[in-house]
Structure formats: C-alpha cells, structure tokens
Amino acid sequence: MNDKNSQKIVDIIQNWARKHSIWVLAYGTGCGAIEIPPTMTSRYDAERLGVRGAATPRQADVLLISGYLTVKTIKRVIRVYEQMQDPKYVIGFGSCTINGGMYYDSYNTINVLDRYLPVDVYINGCMPRPEAVLSGFAQLQKRIAAGRATGAQHYKENLEWYRANQKKIIPNWVMPDYNW
Amino acid sequence: MNELKEVIIKRIKANFADAAERNDFKDNRLDIAVKKETIPSILFYLKDEMGFIHLSDIICVDWLEEGELEVVFILWSPVDKIKVFVRTRLDRDNPVMDNVDMIWRQANTYEREMREMFGVQFTGLVAPDEFILEDWQGPPPFRRDFDTAAYAEKTFWQRPGREDAQDVRETIAKRDGEEIPDFAKKYSR
Amino acid sequence: MREKATTLYIGPQHPGITGNMMVKVKVEGDTIVKARTEVGYLHRAFEKLQESRNWLQSFTLLCRFCVPEPDPVEESYARAVELLEGREVPERAKYIRVLMLELARMGAYMLWFGGQNASLGLYTMGQWSVGDRNYILDLFEELTGGRIYHMYIWPGGVRRDLPEGFADKVLRTMDYLEKRLKDYDDLMFENTIFQKRTQGVGVISKEKAVEWGVVGPVLRGCGIKSDIRIDDPYEVYDKLDFIVPTHEGGDIWSRALVRRQEIRQSIRIIRQVIEKMPSGEYYNRIPNPFKWTLPKGDAYARTESVRGEVGMYIVSDGSTHPRRTHFRGAAYVHGITLLENILVGENVADVSAIMNSLGVCPPEIER
C-alpha cells in the first residue's frame, strides 16, 4: 500500500480536507485587525470558506500577521508560531509586512517579515478590503491543494538562518535554540 | 473673557513673583513661564484655588540649539472655561525635575514616558523602569540628535526595490499557470 | 486559611482583550489582588516620524493613531494648524466636518457594541452591529475612497465636495439604523444576563473620577455632565440642538446606557446638519505644500471622540517641518493608572468586560 500512487491519493484527500478548514489565531498584532471583524460577519462571510477564529495557538492553523510588527511583539510571535502544531501557515497582511509600509524609518518596526518567519501568502493594501482578504484565503487554499504551502517545512530545514536573523534584532534572547 | 484673564493673571503674579506671561498667540489662552523649582507649588495653587482641575497634557520639547528641554503643562478649568499653559525650561545635559503625581494621578504615566523618551529624571517618581521600549540600549530616542532613519537602515533588513518595470500580475499569473482576465488586461502595461 | 496568590498573564495573545497589550494580575482564588499593565507592543514612534515629513505629509500618518475611529485625530490636527496660522475655514466645510465626525462616532460605537458583548458571551450582537456598521462604511467609501482611513479633513477645509445624491443616501441610512436600535435594545439591554453581569461591576465613584482624570462616556456614566462639544464648542456645534446624556451609577451598565443614547443623539445631529447645510466653498487652499511654512509658536486643539478627549499639540519653529507634535488620547489615562486601580477586588472573569467598557485602545496609548 505504500507505493507512489496511493501516496498521491492520500495527499490529495488530505490537502482537500485541510484547505476547507482553516482556523485563524485570535491575535491582532497591528492595525489590520480592524478589518477582520467585517470579514467574519454577515456581509463578507468568511465562514463559508471554513475560516473561523481559534482561541489558542495549539488549536490554530494559520497565523495572520495583520500589519506591522514591533521588536517587542515579534519576540512573542515567534514563540506563538513555534507553539502551533503542523500543518501551519503564515499570511502576511498589509504592505507593512512586505517592505515596511509607511513606517519604514521607524526604529521600532521591522521592515521585511520574510527574514524572521516563513510567509506563504502576502495580501497587500493599506488596509486590504475584506474582498482582498477572502481572495488571499482562496490563494492559500490553492497553494495547499497544489502541495506548495510548505512554509513550516522551510522553517524547520533552515532554522539556523532564521535564528541568526531573529537574534540580530532581539537583544535579550530568552528562548531555546531548538524549534519547539 | 479678557477681564477674567486679567484677574487670573494678577492673582498669579501676586503669589508667584517669577511668573512671566506671554501674549503672542491667536487662540484664547493664558501662558505663564516659571522656573522649575516653582512648578509643584504653582500647579497646586492653580488646581486648588483657581479651579483648573483638569490636566489635559504634559509635553516635553527638545530645543537642541539652545541646549534646553522645555516641559509644558496644559490645564483646563471647567467652570471658567479657559486654558492655561505653564512652561519651564530644564538643562539638557542634566534634566532633573520634581514629581507632580500627588497632584494628579495620571501624571505618573506622562512622567514615565518622558523619562524613557527624553531622559528627564523626576525626583520621587515611583514606577517600573521600562514603559514602552524593551531592552533598549541606545540614547533616549525622541531627542533631536537621534537619527531614526539611519538606525532603521542599519538594524533592519530592507527589501531592495525592483529595477525593471514588469507587471507583477503577469509574473504571478505565468508562474501559477493562470490567465489574467480580459477586463484587467487594459490596465496592464 | 488564605490561598496562595498566583500570577496570571492575560497576555498579548488573548481573545478577550481589546488589542495588543498585557495585563498581569495576581489572583487569590477568583479575586484580583494586584494588577499591572504592560504596553509597548504597538509603538511606532509617530511623533518622531512626523518630524521628518512636512506639514502635509505628516497628516497622512495621523489616521493610524486610533484605529477604530480616525476622524477626530485629523480634526484636532487640522484645527491646531489653523489656530497657529490663523486660517479661516468656510462654513460649508464646517458642516461637512461635523457630518463626518458624527458618522465616525456612530461606527465606532457599533464596533464597541460587538466587543463589549463578546466579552460577556453574547456573540449575536457583534454579528448584527458590525454588519450594520458596513452601511456607514459604504457612505465613507463613496465620499472619500477608503473604508477605514479617510484622510479627508485637512487644514483649510475638506478634500472634496459631497457628490450628488449623497444627502439622500445618508438620510436613508439613518432611517434604517434608527429602526435597528430597537432590535439592539431587545437583545442587549433587556437581557437579564447582561444586566446581572454588568450592574455593580467596575464601579467608579464621582470623587474618584475627578481625581483620576477620567473623561468621555466613562465620566458621563458617573453622573458628571462634561462634553467638549458643549464646554468648549468647535466647528458648528453651538448652532445644533442636542443633549448630552448622563447616568448615575458608575458601573458598566450606566456606561453602556450612555453610549446607546449617544447614538440616538448622533442621528439627530446628522439630520440637522443635512437640513442646514449651506452652499459655498469647501476648501481654503493651502499654498505649495513643499514650501508651506507656519509661523513660530505652538497650539493645542481637542475634539470629543468616542472615548473622550483627543488632543493634538504642535510646535513650529518657522520651517516646513513640524518641530514637535504630541497626541493625547483618552485611553492613555484610562488604560494604565485607572485600570490598575479598578481591577483590585474584582473577579478575574470580568477583566475583559471592564477593559471593554473603559474603552482601552492600545494604539492610542503608545502611538
């Protein structure tokens, strides 16, 4: 039963099940958290795609980084990301995660999220409309179905590179060097 | 309103000899400059006996060229409906001032922020050291001689800009094997 | 036998807190003994960034100070710049500004309904009120182009005139929302569970309110009538007819009642504005923004927002860039010293309800 074809069938069914039930962690890290309630309520209903909120990292599938990240927050976000269990994805929301946005010259916000956490899908805008959020989730679903949402795998394989970048901006590193 | 302002200014000047008044602005307010040692007593007097019970704001301004830091208190009287600005100057190399949070409790938060962002020391302030910044090892960041753009350039990795003028949507569509719909094509370059 | 005290971190990632901040509480059993807040997770150093942008460019940063309701901040900045320079604003622009402020006030109150009830477990209210708020955001989108961040009220007036047919759309939305208020009453205010969970919780007495510098609906819920729109009127509020509701009690229940009645007053104000709006200019043009300098001096202007007093202080030294700007939000006072004081003696299950009712919004605290 372990030949390549049956493995492919198992993958297809597994990805189909995963893409229709994406639970978002309830963590509003920045400005973008204000467009999430309209996306989840009746007009732009996101629950028809299977997207709903989850209360703790252990129960969540996707970490929605909504906006800019300060140095103090990214220390907590890394811990939360490593507490989430596989399969997990990261969505970068807003233009501040792409290249710094309008706070590019602030001494407290990071500019490119990709160097510190593996990102699967970016949604650009300032702020993105609820339709753009739904389109971002649909894009994530396509990537899951094609088997290409491998951010978590990339993080585990290149852990030293990510850790070196994280330690460069966080002065007081209190977390272990291994991945949870 | 002008007679009311005259009365208040006369009473303040009678009690505090070193209160200097400024008159060169267009909005309806009183403006007094005092030395830093008089600050607790004049604020107490304004709150208890003149009716300015509401503290609106406390601000610190950095005058780098004159070598001084200026602290401004903005008070409001709900009964007389008038604002007063109380100013004082501190030496920039060693800014020390008295603590006023026994007069208004919320001044504790303003003083914590000024201590962290400008380096002003308040004698008698009881509060944890870190307020907004965590593990910050540089100089007080809101002073004029701290260049925030240079610091951001050095510490955080910047994404380089694109050198060519290709349309991002076409690249993504080609990579994913999709087609851009017809109505969107007329906006492509 | 006394129980040992445990420390709980109601931390940055929590479904019950109103934003990205941490409240560290020490509990004995179920009762809170000591509380400390920790902020700084959202600090972007706005005031430092504004010093490297000129007077008009720094206006684009301002909306992000208070995320649910960005218009009072723009209004404070515009009025402070006009005070400093002595610029006149045309009459029609003043009426349009009042319209925008009242619509933003209603939208923020509806979002607040969702948050306050979700902290008690009534999730239906959030679905209704956030869904109805979308109609107000549609009006904003037609007028300014953006749902959340408008950048519409700027020094000298407003950015563009009302389009045709806009006044009818506003009046139809107001009729619809007025009918919905009765549904909100049935679900929320006549609900026994809501009443039992909010009466007597998070009480602030009158003396404490004055001593700790409380402003806004929290002060009006303690029985003191204080509102910047009648104490220190700005724009055309002195020509409009509205009351300022107050309630005795000082607990979460009276603050919720005050907010509910202010929605009704906002609908009344908007109808009067549409009726009385004059025609004329909507903008007093500023010169070339790259060469626009303001005279030396400073100015302070404040506006009544959903949470209380929102003030902006600007200092100019005669150049094209601001010397120093400072923003004062109501959550700065409510969220740190007052919250740490009120939480002592309360049940740990009520922390979320108290934070929602005080209107603690972390982007305003640490800017």
Task: Flag whether residue B183 sits within 8 Å of chain C, measured between CB atoms.
Answer: no
Chains in contact with C, where contact requires at least 3 CB pairs less than 8 Å apart: A, B
Structure tokens at C303: 């506006």
| Chain A: closest CA distance from residue B158 (Å) | 6
Q: Which residue of B has its CA nearest to A110?
A: B156
Structure tokens at A93: 């929301």
Residue pair C343/C353 in contact by the 8 Å Cβ criterion: no
Q: What is the strand order of the sheet C31-38 is part of?
A: C6-10, C22-28, C31-38
Task: List the 98-117 stretch of A: residues with Cβ below 8 A of B.
Answer: 98-100, 104-112, 115
Residue pair C307/C334 in contact by the 8 Å Cβ criterion: yes
Instruction: Give which of A73, A110, A111 to mutate to test C binding, by max C Cβ within 10 Å.
Output: A73
DSSP result, B61-125? EEETTTTEEEEEEEEEETTTTEEEEEEEEEESSS-EEE--TTT-TTHHHHHHHHHHHH--EEET-
Q: What is the per-residue pLDDT across B134-159, written as a single tens digit (0 to 9) for each?
A: 888 888 889 888 888 888 888 888 88
pLDDT tier for residue A1 given thresholds of 50, 70 and 90: low
Reported residue count of chain C is: 367
Q: Which residue of A has its CA nearest to B154?
A: A107
ipTM, 2 dp: 0.89
Instruction: Give which of A24, A25, A31, A68 to mutate to test C binding, by max C Cβ within 10 Å.
Output: A31
Which whole number is the average pLDDT over B44-51? 87
CA C263 to chain CA centroid, Å, is: 13
Instruction: Single out the residue of B85, B2, B37 nearest to residue B16, CA to CA.
Output: B37
Contacts of B74 in chain C (CB under 8 A): 300, 311, 313
| Chain A: closest CA distance from residue B137 (Å) | 9
User: Is C40 close to B59, i.e. CB distance below 8 A?
Assistant: no
Q: Which residue of C has its CA nearest to A100?
A: C44
Q: Which residues partner with C314 through β-bridges?
A: C299, C325
Contacts of B148 in chain A (CB under 8 A): 105-107
Q: Which CATH superfamily is domain B2-134 in?
A: NADH:ubiquinone oxidoreductase Nqo5 subunit (3.30.460.80)
Q: What is the per-residue pLDDT across A49-60, written as a single tens digit (0 to 9) for each?
A: 999 889 899 999
Residue pair A98/A59 in contact by the 8 Å Cβ criterion: no
Q: What is the per-residue pLDDT across B57-80, written as a single tens digit (0 to 9) for each?
A: 999 999 988 888 999 999 988 888
Task: Flag whether residue B188 sits within 8 Å of chain A, measured between CB atoms.
Answer: no
User: Is B148 close to A107, i.e. CB distance below 8 A?
Assistant: yes
pLDDT at B187: 63
Coil, helix or strand for B154? Answer: helix
Choose the closest CB to C13 out of A41, A76, A109: A76
Of all helices (H) and strands (E), which one includes residue C107? Answer: helix C91-118
pLDDT at B21: 76
Give the whole-angstrom CA distance, residue A43 versus residue C85.
Answer: 45
Helix (H), strand (E) counts: chain B? 6, 7
Gyration radius of chain B's alpha carbons: 26
Residue pair B84/B32 in contact by the 8 Å Cβ criterion: yes
Question: Across the B/C interface, how many CB contacts are shorter than 8 Å?
Answer: 80
Grouped pLDDT means (10 residues each) for chain C, 367 residues: 82 86 90 91 89 88 87 92 89 92 92 90 90 92 89 89 91 92 90 90 88 89 89 88 90 92 92 91 87 88 91 90 90 88 90 90 87
Residue pair A126/A67 in contact by the 8 Å Cβ criterion: no
Task: List the 4-43 stretch of B: residues with Cβ below 8 A of C.
Answer: 24-27, 29
Count the Cβ atoms, other than its own, within 10 Å of residue A123. Answer: 25
Residues 6+ apart with CB under 8 A from B181: none
Which whole number is the average pLDDT over A77-98? 90
What pairing do the DSSP bridges indicate for beta strands B20-21 and B29-33? Answer: antiparallel
User: Is C15 close to A55, i.e. CB distance below 8 A?
Assistant: yes
Residue pair C77/C314 in contact by the 8 Å Cβ criterion: yes
Coil, helix or strand for A62? Answer: strand
Choose the closest CB to B158 out of A107, A111, A172: A111
Choose the closest CB to C43 out of A25, A108, A127: A108
Reported residue count of chain B is: 189
Q: Which residues partner with A110 through β-bridges?
A: none
Task: Flag whether residue B156 sits within 8 Å of chain A, measured between CB atoms.
Answer: yes
Structure tokens at B2: 């002008």
User: Is A106 close to B152, i.e. CB distance below 8 A?
Assistant: yes
Instruction: Give which of A27, A70, A170 to mutate to test C binding, by max C Cβ within 10 Å.
Output: A70
Domains in chain A, start-ordered, CATH in brackets? 24-169 (3.40.50.12280)
Q: What is the per-residue pLDDT across A142-179, written as a single tens digit (0 to 9) for each?
A: 999 888 888 888 998 888 899 988 888 888 888 777 77
pLDDT at B26: 63
User: Is C67 close to A55, i.e. CB distance below 8 A?
Assistant: no
Instruction: Give which of A29, A62, A65, A104 to mutate to test C binding, by max C Cβ within 10 Å.
Output: A29
Contacts of A43 in chain C (CB under 8 A): 131, 134
User: Is C313 close to B142, i.e. CB distance below 8 A?
Assistant: no
User: Is B157 close to A111, i.e. CB distance below 8 A?
Assistant: yes
User: Is C134 close to A43, i.e. CB distance below 8 A?
Assistant: yes
Domain ranges in chain B? Answer: 2-134
Structure tokens at B142: 């809101």
pLDDT at B15: 78
What pairing do the DSSP bridges indicate for beta strands B29-33 and B82-91? Answer: parallel
> Is the pLDDT assigned to residue A4 strictly greater than 90?
no
pLDDT at C303: 92
Which whole number is the average pLDDT over B84-111? 89
pLDDT at B188: 54
Chains in contact with A, where contact requires at least 3 CB pairs less than 8 Å apart: B, C
User: Is A37 close to C15, i.e. CB distance below 8 A?
Assistant: no
